[in-house]
């Protein structure tokens, strides 16, 4: 696996359950502020989509953006994780 992809996956693993971050956040986290589109391509090829939670990465404007499994499934996963995170806080 390429070094760039590993950096992206490591950054995405830092996103807490029930939260999202933007592609721009991931780009800054890996020290490559201009690489938002490349990050999207890496996440599209994520071999472990539930382990490396690429569904937690959204567009900077708050919209969902793309997802290899479909945007509908991305929304379901985000909503499910939000509910789970709330349950775990109690």
Residues annotated as catalytic are: 54
DSSP for 19-53 reads: --EEHHHHHHHTT-TT-HHHHHHHHHT-S-TTTS-
CA distance linking residue 20 with residue 56, whole number of Å: 5
Q: What angle do CA 41, 75, 29 make, to 5 degrees?
A: 45
């Amino acid at each position: 696996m390429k070094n760039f992809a590993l950096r992206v996956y490591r950054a995405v693993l830092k996103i807490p359950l029930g939260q999202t971050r933007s592609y721009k956040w991931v780009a800054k986290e890996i020290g490559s502020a201009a690489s938002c589109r490349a990050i999207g391509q890496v996440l599209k090829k994520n071999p472990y989509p539930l382990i490396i939670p690429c569904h937690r990465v959204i567009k900077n404007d708050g919209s969902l953006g793309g997802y290899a499994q479909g945007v509908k499934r991305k929304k379901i996963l985000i909503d499910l994780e939000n509910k789970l995170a709330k349950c775990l806080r109690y």
